[in-house]
Structure 1
Amino acid sequence: MAQKQKYRRTLNILEKSKKQSQFDYTEVFRHIRTNIEFSNVDNPIKSIAITSSQPGEAKSTTSMNLAFIFAAKYQKVLIIDCDLRKTMLHKYMKLSNSYGLTDALINYGKTHRFTDEYFQTYQHPSFSGLLYVLTAGIHVPNPSELLSSDTFKEYMKVLKQNFDFIIIDCAPIGAISDAIPVGNAVDGTIFVVSAKDTKRKDAAQCVDLLKRSNVNVIGSVLTKADSGSGSYHYYY
Structure 2
Amino acid sequence: AVNPTTVMGATKMLGERLCISRDHAKGSHETTISCVRFGNVLGSRGSIIPLIRNQIKNGDSVTLTNEEMRRFFMSISDAANLVLKSMVLAQGGEIFVLKMPVVLIKDLLEVLIEEFAPKFRKDPNSIKMEKIGPRVGEKLNEDLISPIEFEYCYETDDMYIVFPPLALNSKHPSSKDFSMYRKVKVDKDFNYSTIDKIPLGKEGIRKILECLNLNDV
Q: Given the two structures, how large is their TM-score scaled by the length of structure 2?
A: 0.22
More RCO (CA 8 Å, sep 6+):
1
Higher alpha-carbon Rg: 2
